[in-house]
Structure formats: C-alpha cells, structure tokens
Amino acid sequence: MKIIVADHYEDLCKLSAVIIKECVQAKKDAVLGLATGSTPVGLYKQLISDYQAGEIDFSKVITFNLDEYAGLSPSHPQSYNKFMHEHLFQHINVQPDHIHIPQGDNPQLEAECKVYEELIRQAGGIDVQILGIGSNGHIGFNEPGSDFEERTRIVRLSESTIQANARFFGGDPVLVPRLAVSMGIKTIMEFSKHIVLLANGEEKADAIQKMAEGPVTPEIPASILQQHNHVTVIADPKAAQKLKNLSYLSNK
C-alpha cells in the first residue's frame, strides 16, 4: 500500500486526477470504477477541466459505480445516478451506454446485482477503482461486519452511515434509504487492478489509521486493502494525522 499525503484537498484532487488521466491516455477504453460522496467531487471537477482543456477523452471509457441506494429511481434527486450525472457525466463525453450504475428501483434487485457483477467481469475488470472511506471504515456500502467473500449484493446501511449521509437528504436521517446495492469486497479486491482510496478531513483519521495499520478485520472493511497488490491512498494531512508507521509513506 502506497500512502501519499497531499498538501490539501485541491492537491488530493489533482493527484488522483493524474492517475485517471494517465490510465485513460494509455488505454482509451479504460474501465473506471467510480465512487460517490463528498470526497471525489473535487476529483470530478478536475477531470471536467482536464476534459475541457482537451487533455482527456472519455469517448471509449467504460464506468462502473460502486453502489446505489435501493428503492431510488435513477432520476431521484438523491440517487447516486443523479449525483454522478451532475458532478461528472453530463460535463464530459462519456457514452451513455458505457455508464453502469446499479438500478436501485429494479424490482428484481437480486438479479440486478448478479447482472452487474457479470457486466464488470465481461468488461475485463476495472483498471482504476476510486474509493472513498466511511468514518467507520466502510468502502462502497460494505459496512463493518461485511464478509470479505461477498460480491455485488443488497446491503443494510449501518446507523452511523445513515446519520453521516443524512446531510444529502436535507439533514433528515429518516429519509435515508436503509438498503443499498453495493459491489462486494470480493468484487473490489478481485476486479480492481489499481485501487485509489481518497480520504479528506479529520473525521477519516481513525479509519485511515485502522485501515493501514490495524489488523485485517471485517470490523474495518477497508483493512482488506492491505492484501491488495496495487493500492494508492491519497489523504490530506488531517486524514493522515493518526498514522504511526511512516515507512510506507510515499513522496508525490
């Protein structure tokens, strides 16, 4: 695991955008795994400005998002589908049929999960997978206690995630769906060739320390990343402040 401490959030966004840009420049039909939440928003802004500057062409790129709330239609204002279109897709030249996000309101949700997993397999896996991290150590919506062998499936959100995500639902936790579809830990570990985990702010400091330095345990789902052979963590100084072992910290 390589850990880069960015100077600040804008730096974190630039560094992660460079990884995506280099990937797409080397492979026009790259498969990108994308995440939602506040953390990657600046990365997406950077990618939009790189696209506008003619530095990156998304016309052959394929995307898979990590997760989606169950029960929300793609056009629901708080769906991750809507989020991704607003923050990235509508501003770049990605082909609509190259975009994959689980359909949260599919009445056959279990079948949706199986098909999603199969689509990633058929695409040949994910070249760069962007991850955020929950303050409880979750990745995607794989909450503490998630089995490391699980694939894309229906998951139940933890109380802390419901509280943390209420800010996107006008601050009312009652409005946050209790269930979601998420790529599983096994999906992420097996299909991702390069995992880039972004963490910003002191509320992520405990999770980052446990992810990198604690035991590999389902109680901290992100700790499994210690066993992946190509992980780059990009953290701002506040998210990195509790790391004790500085030997794996990398210069930019």
Q: Which of 141, 176, 224, 225 binds ligand GLP (CB under 6 A)?
A: 141
Give me 41's structure tokens. 């928003």
Give 201's DSSP letter.
S
**Segment interacting with ligand GLP (CB under 6 A) among 16-24, 36-44, 92-100, 186-194:** 36-44
* Sheet containing 126-131: order of strands: 99-100, 62-65, 31-34, 126-131, 192-199, 231-235, 2-5, 249-250
Q: How far is the CB of 59 from ligand GLP (least distance, A)?
A: 26
Distance from C-alpha of 227 to C-alpha of 214, rounded to nearest angstrom: 12
Q: Where are the beta strands (DSSP E) in 35-149?
A: 62-65, 67-69, 99-100, 126-131
Secondary structure class of 12 (helix, strand, coil): helix
Q: How far is the CB of 168 from ligand GLP (least distance, A)?
A: 8
Told to check if 69 binds ligand GLP by CB under 6 A, we report: no
Distance from C-alpha of 122 to C-alpha of 160, rounded to nearest angstrom: 35
Q: Which of 32, 41, 51, 48 is nearest to 9 (CA)?
A: 41
Told to check if 137 binds ligand GLP by CB under 6 A, we report: no
Closest CB to ligand GLP among 65 and 106? 65
Give me 9's structure tokens. 């959030």
Q: Which of 65, 138, 165, 236 is flagged as catalytic? A: 138
Q: How far is the CB of 229 from ligand GLP (least distance, A)?
A: 22
Q: Which of 65, 136, 142, 200 is flagged as catalytic? A: 136
Binding mask 149-178 for ligand GLP (x = CB under 6 A): ------------x---x-------------
Q: Which of 34, 66, 211, 224 binds ligand GLP (CB under 6 A)?
A: 66
CA angle 52, 17, 118 (to 5 degrees): 100
Told to check if 140 binds ligand GLP by CB under 6 A, we report: yes
Told to check if 117 binds ligand GLP by CB under 6 A, we report: no
Residues that bind ligand GLP (CB under 6 A): 35-39, 66-67, 132-134, 140-141, 161, 165
